[in-house]
A and B are shown apart, each in its own frame.
Chain A
Amino acid sequence: MSDNDLIIISYEDRNVFKQDSPFDNSYIEKMAIIELTEEDMNKNDIKDDENILVYNDNGEVVVKAKKMEEGDVGIASMPKGPWFSVLLPNNIEDFYKHINAKIKKTEDPITTIEFIFD
């Protein structure tokens, strides 16, 4: 397992509501993120709020890195939603279990919903 290999678990963000538009900046700011431990950030030379590419065999997506308050090295978390869905396997048996992905720093902008779905 290399430094940029991670297990990602998903969660429901209590500050995201069914009534929110997925195109609003406030929605994107809350949903297009990955929470990482300080150790994983340091290992990959990533700072809080920097854009990072998260990728696996199912797809890739650019989101913002956020420092996790408390967590285990090698385990990251993302809110359930359009950005996390890019990394999910097309197999119902594995669907929504934790998933494996890699990360790397990028200068690319946050992936838009239009880019994912159009």
Chain B
Amino acid sequence: MICLGCSCLCDDLEFKNEENKITVGNACLKGFKRIDAFNKNRLISSINKKEASIDDAINKTIEILKNSKKSAIFGLENSVLEAQNESIKLGEKTGSIIDNFSSVYGGYLINRFLDGSVNTCTLDDVRDNCDVSIYWGCDPMSTHPRLMSKFSYYPRGKNRQRGWEEDRYTIAIDARKSLTANITKKFIKVSPGRDFELFKAFKDVLSGKLPKIGDKKLLMNVGTSIKKAKYGVVFVGDGLDYSMGYMNDFIDLINDIGFKLQPVMDCIGFNKLLFERFRYINSIDLEDKSYAKDNSIFNLLKGDDIDSILIVESDIASYLPHKIAKKLKDINSIYIGPHSNLTAYLSRINIPSSISGVESGGNAYRMDLKEETAEKVIDSEFLSQYEILSRIGEGL
């Protein structure tokens, strides 16, 4: 079974359903919860907080979108490609703005990753060859729990038979000692907002100069390992993006030292789909296929340009500044997803869906853009997100 719990898309889960007792082998806790929560905290179909049939909730959504002056579609970071494609079709019909989490963080890096201007590799290459991995502003042990055990640190790879003990050197760079930093061989603590200075110190070390800031001995030591690397990979997360802001110099340095770069972010699959169609990965107005910063969820909810929003399996309300998230209560907001969350709580219409990769199948991209096909393993009464979005589209 393929797990869609995060963009590692682990393909070795062993699922058994015997006499209504579910067991799952090989999954991390996050992956297990995704399956085990099939009967917990499920979203209830509702209109204005009153329970309603799914048909009524879908019909009300159609009515809202028909009467909307300008609508937006947001999320789908955790959805399958079929649903993502259907959301684009729907957005083209309604002339909606389409956006996802990459407009909040990581967008610039993902764009560079997708336009081919960043050296990259597959996770299988990482497993077989990587001898130095750097985790900068990311904590895969929390967000992508099997990344290090399946690919980058612990496994024996074709050319890394002595595994983590001897063959792999790992460095975490973060503002706090994360779970990942607890297991890497070196940890460099960076003061909040000072990643760019640390990056410049690294640049000095790599060109043979003494670093101007930080623990000089540690930086020199790590710099030597970077220089000696035969196959180096930098995993980057939102932490770096928040702090660095301007990423071009950073990407150039990674390219110059011959390292590969891998964003550890979940929206990359949907970003690829949008990039291939429109050359943009987020904030796209499907009316004229244009991109504008003002089309990001942040700016849309801050301003008054949209009167309705359809959000698919993305708990954006938990992450935006609360005053902006509250705006969901003032416009026609529709939430589609398998479980209830804060975004559903603030939305006017809730439409429950199946759990992708558990109660319905579909395709998805791993973080290195390898495509995988997930099968349904549990029968359920819930419609898939693809079915819900196509029913809304047909109704329009």
Contacts and interface: CB of A to CB of B under 8 A. Distances in A.
Nearest to A13: B142
Given A90-B302, A96-B104, A97-B242, 14 more contacts: A12-B143, A14-B142, A14-B143, A17-B30, A19-B40, A19-B338, A19-B339, A58-B321, A75-B175, A75-B176, A88-B320, A113-B345, A117-B317, A117-B342
Identify the interface centre among B29, B175, B243: most chain A CB within 10 Å of its CB: B175
Contact of B142 (A11, A69, A75, A77): A11
Chain A contact residues, majority secondary structure: loop
A92 B298 contact: yes
Interface string B317-335: 1111111111001000000
A9 interface: yes
A54 to B, nearest CB: 13
B26 to A, nearest CB: 18
Nearest to B145: A14
A22 B341 contact: yes
Contacts of B323: 58-59, 90
Interface string B16-39: 000000000000011001100100
Contacts of A75: 175-176, 192
Contacts, number: 114
Contacts of B341: 18, 21-22
A82 B342 contact: yes
Contacts of A71: 176-177
Interface residues of B, number: 50
A116 interface: yes
A117 B296 CA distance: 22
Interface of A: 7, 9, 11-15, 17-22, 24, 58-59, 69-72, 75, 77, 80-82, 85-86, 88-90, 92, 95-98, 113, 116-117
A51 to B, nearest CB: 19
Nearest to B302: A90
Nearest to A58: B321
A88 B29 CA distance: 30
Interface string B161-203: 0000000000000011111000000000101110000000000
Interface of B: 29-30, 33-34, 37, 40-41, 78, 104-105, 139, 141-143, 145, 175-179, 189, 191-193, 238, 242-243, 296, 298-299, 302, 315, 317-326, 329, 338-342, 345-346
Contacts of A7: 192
A68 to B, nearest CB: 8
Given A14-B143, A19-B339, A85 B320 contact: yes
A116 B321 CA distance: 11
Nearest to B293: A92
A117 B325 contact: yes
A89 B142 contact: no
Contact of B41 (A19, A70, A95, A98): A19
A90 B177 contact: no
A53 to B, nearest CB: 16
Contacts of A21: 41, 339-341
A98 B175 contact: yes
A17 B37 CA distance: 10
B319 A117 contact: no
A113 B302 CA distance: 21
A12 B345 contact: no
B58 to A, nearest CB: 23
A11 B41 contact: no
Contacts of B338: 19
